[in-house]
């Protein structure tokens, strides 16, 4: 039976810990999401072992998890000054550099990892691939996911991630193929089930989309789009009425996700849900729910209200309040498969920074649109 020693005994035993012991302690806190505690352990350890590269690496990851990018940058640099070939340090440093917009330097870190011979390290290659994917570098992300499958052909995680990358690169057939491969290897992956369902829905394969949506329990959904689509398909294809018990868990989950939204997101959700006559959509009254695009078109047809006009580089025009315009752009973005409006603006802002070097505000709709205009991605005409 485990016995927890008194504090004074623990303090004495701490004198006999190695730097690896401290690193392991901090890592356990890190994987539990207890980043403050991990930082405290690492600071204590660095007082004793200031030249231990692995402790600086751990400090960098804890800072990165807290989105303290400048501090993380310094920690990883210190680690690499002590051990230039530390693969975990190189991966973390590259990830921070991406966050700070230093794309070329980040890619150099990742290429160094490959040159050091770590291309068969499953977890490391997946970490790098995901970091690249999050920052919109889908082609390079795909390369790292492919390396994983070369060395680990039964990796469901890598197969699914190849599907995500293929979709973001406009290859829907490849996306479906790789997502199905991932689900063959791990049928219980909710993220892959939802993703392939959305891809099939967008391609008009509603039976296939519904089949995948049904594989996921409503409580496993963390965004609203697939939930709405499931309810819509059940009502339109099978004439399931609103009050049917089969739909209630899905509608209830929609309500739970709505309760979890921030105040700003709730306001914008209300804007999205407003009908032309000024009434609002109700999750329990879904007869008027069509596709996402049809709702956008309804918003575009509104007139008689004060608003702004923007034109995208491809010629698509939008009219409405700043918030309505952002929502319209989001719904037409074929690369976006759901999530909050705030997360969408953050993703586009990071993509803009990487591709154009222009910083786009992501905390309010007006600043976001004007930032995109400054980056040359749209024109504001009114």
Structural domain includes residue 171: no
For residue 108, what are the domain limits? 1-118
The model's pLDDT over 198-222, given as tens digits with 9 standing for 90+, comes to 999 888 899 999 999 999 999 998 8
pLDDT confidence of residue 281: 44
Q: How many domains does the chain have?
A: 2
* Percent of the chain residues past pLDDT 90, beyond the cut: 49
The model's pLDDT over 50-79, given as tens digits with 9 standing for 90+, comes to 999 999 999 999 999 999 999 999 999 999
Of the pLDDT bands very low, low, confident and very high (cuts 50, 70, 90), residue 244 is confident
The tally of CA atoms less than 13 A away on the side-chain side of residue 273 is 15
What integer is the mean pLDDT of 310-323? 80
Structural domain includes residue 352: yes
Q: Residue 334: count other Cβ atoms within 10 Å of its Cβ.
A: 10
End position of a domain, from candidates 63, 86, 118:
118
Task: State the DSSP code for 157.
Answer: H
**Going edge to edge, which strands form the sheet with 378-380?**
317-320, 308-312, 378-380
Task: Give the residue carrying structure tokens 């997946």.
Answer: 126
Beta bridge partners of 312: 378
Task: State the DSSP code for 135.
Answer: T
- Write out the two tokens for 274: 């407003």
d(CA 167, CA 191): 14
Structural domain includes residue 219: no
Q: Residue 65: count other Cβ atoms within 10 Å of its Cβ.
A: 14
End position of a domain, from candidates 90, 118, 146:
118
Task: For the chain, give the mean pLDDT.
Answer: 82
End position of a domain, from candidates 118, 144, 172:
118
Predicted TM-score of the model (pTM):
0.66
């Amino acid at each position: 039976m485990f016995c927890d020693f008194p504090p004074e005994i623990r303090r004495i035993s701490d004198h006999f810990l190695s730097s690896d012991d401290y690193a392991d302690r901090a890592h356990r806190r890190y994987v539990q999401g207890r980043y403050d505690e991990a930082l405290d352990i690492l600071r204590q350890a660095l007082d004793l072992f200031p030249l231990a590269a692995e402790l600086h690496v751990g400090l960098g990851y804890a800072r990165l998890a807290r989105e303290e990018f400048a501090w993380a940058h310094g920690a990883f640099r210190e680690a690499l000054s002590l051990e230039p070939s530390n693969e975990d340090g190189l991966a973390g440093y590259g990830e921070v550099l991406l966050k700070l917009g230093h794309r070329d330097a980040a890619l150099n870190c990742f290429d160094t990892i490959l040159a050091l011979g770590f291309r068969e390290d499953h977890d490391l290659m997946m970490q790098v691939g995901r970091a690249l994917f999050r920052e919109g570098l889908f082609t390079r992300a795909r390369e790292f996911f492919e390396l994983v499958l070369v060395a680990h052909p039964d990796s469901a995680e890598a197969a699914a991630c190849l599907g995500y990358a293929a979709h973001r690169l406009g290859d829907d057939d490849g996306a479906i193929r790789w997502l199905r491969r991932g689900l063959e290897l791990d049928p219980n992956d909710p993220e892959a089930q939802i993703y392939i369902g959305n891809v099939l829905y967008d391609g008009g394969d509603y039976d296939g989309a519904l089949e995948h949506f049904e594989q996921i329990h409503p409580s496993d959904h963390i965004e609203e789009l697939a939930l709405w689509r499931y309810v819509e398909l059940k009502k339109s294809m099978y004439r399931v009425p609103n009050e049917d018990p089969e739909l209630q868990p899905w509608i209830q989950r929609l309500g739970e996700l709505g309760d979890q939204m921030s105040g700003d997101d709730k306001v914008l959700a209300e804007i999205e849900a407003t009908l032309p006559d000024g009434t609002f959509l109700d999750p329990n009254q879904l007869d008027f729910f069509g596709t996402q695009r049809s709702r956008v078109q309804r918003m575009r047809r509104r007139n008689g209200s004060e608003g702004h006009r923007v034109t995208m580089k491809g010629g698509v025009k939008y009219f409405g309040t700043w918030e309505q315009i952002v929502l319209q752009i989001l719904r037409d973005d074929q690369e976006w498969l759901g999530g909050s409006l705030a997360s969408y603006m953050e993703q586009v802002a990071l993509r803009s920074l990487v591709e154009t070097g222009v910083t786009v505000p992501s905390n309010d709709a007006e600043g976001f649109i004007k930032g995109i205009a400054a980056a040359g991605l749209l024109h504001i005409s009114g």
